Amino acid sequence: MQTIDVETADRRYQIAVGHGIMDQLGVLCRQLSLGEQVAVISDPTVAAAYLGRVVDSLESVGYRTLPIQFPGSDAGKNLSAAEGIFARMIEAEMDRSAWVVALGGGVVGDMAGFVAATFLRGLPLVQVPTTIVAQVDASIGGKTAVNHALGKNLIGAFHQPHLVLIDTEALRTLPRTELVAGMAEVVKHAIIRDAELFAFLEEHLEQIVALELAADRLDWLIARNVEIKAAVVREDERESGLRAILNYGHTIGHAIEAATGYAQYRHGEGVILGMIGAGQIAVRHGFWSAADRSRQDALLARLGIPTGIAGVDPEAIVERTRADKKRVAGKTRLILGRAIGTVEIVDRLGEEVLREGVHYLRESYP
């Protein structure tokens, strides 16, 4: 098991990465001086596979658990679902000594994190992510949120976890579609921060998606992505500057998800389209080379680029970018490539540039 330290203004915590380590959750939590009552928030699919193990691990060291499930989809990640979870916790008479475990993918982590950040003005949070998106991105850094009909993740708080436990064996139960969508965040990390990781992905992508990597190599891949995310969070916890680079591909991607009611594309699929759109804008306006854009798009093509965007109103997508959290002084902030491994935060380009990217996607991947 490898541990990675994250230190922010609010908290210092560890991220544990390994295979077959989920059963160690209770023992690791006992090192954190947490209270005796814990809400374990999950969705039906993940609960069927792992909830029993997690509850057993926690109860074996004396914790009292309250398992709670909600529909783990972006369409169901809203204030109404959060209210239902709050009701369960109130009925169980949870007080400020209680804490929360998020067991599942990015949607579960966002929801459970939001609940932990807001219930009784804040409870400790432990993340146990079970998807690639959650393991390399969503569980790290303290961003929690629920969606609004007008935009993704607009209602939330920064709330750092006390522990993140990443069991890479959980990835072996994921369907290929979920693995592919999750790899979008891995490609993103490589483009923004690590050219060597990008070259590794070019050589081994199919082997990774098929989960044919040896267990220790899979651990390394996830841990390397964790290190990239953690390093950025250490420098900029609340997204006032550098942390914005983690949103590469997300401005257009989130807008596509919102414009289609969170029902047509998985988050990772939206990010794939967003990265392609951002790549086109970057080349069109002289930020990076056509050769680097081609390398990005070729790698994403091997993952599988989602289609169907021709049926989405382009103005609806552009309109959703106006509700983007990264918008500054009325201007949409874009993250654009400079070279593989390096990006730039750009807020001087107008809305028409976004239209260029959206129309390119509609023409190229209808």
Q: Could you list the active site residues?
A: 121, 143, 185, 229, 239, 243, 247, 250, 254, 267
- Asked if 50 and 130 count as a contact pair (C-beta separation under 8 A), the reply is yes
- The DSSP element (H or E) to which 103 belongs, if any, is strand 99-104
Nearest to 122 by CA among 91, 100, 148: 100
Task: Calculate the CA 139 to chain-centre distance.
Answer: 7
Rounded CA separation 120/94 (Å): 9
Structure tokens at 49: 């596979």
Please choose, from the candidates 11, 147, 9, 132, the residue with its C-alpha nearest in 3D space to the C-alpha of residue 71: 147
Interstrand relation of 125-129 and 334-339 (parallel, antiparallel or unpaired) = unpaired
Smallest CA-to-CA distance from 142 within 302, 6, 269 is with: 6
Report yes or no: 117 and 159 within 8 Å, Cβ to Cβ.
Answer: yes
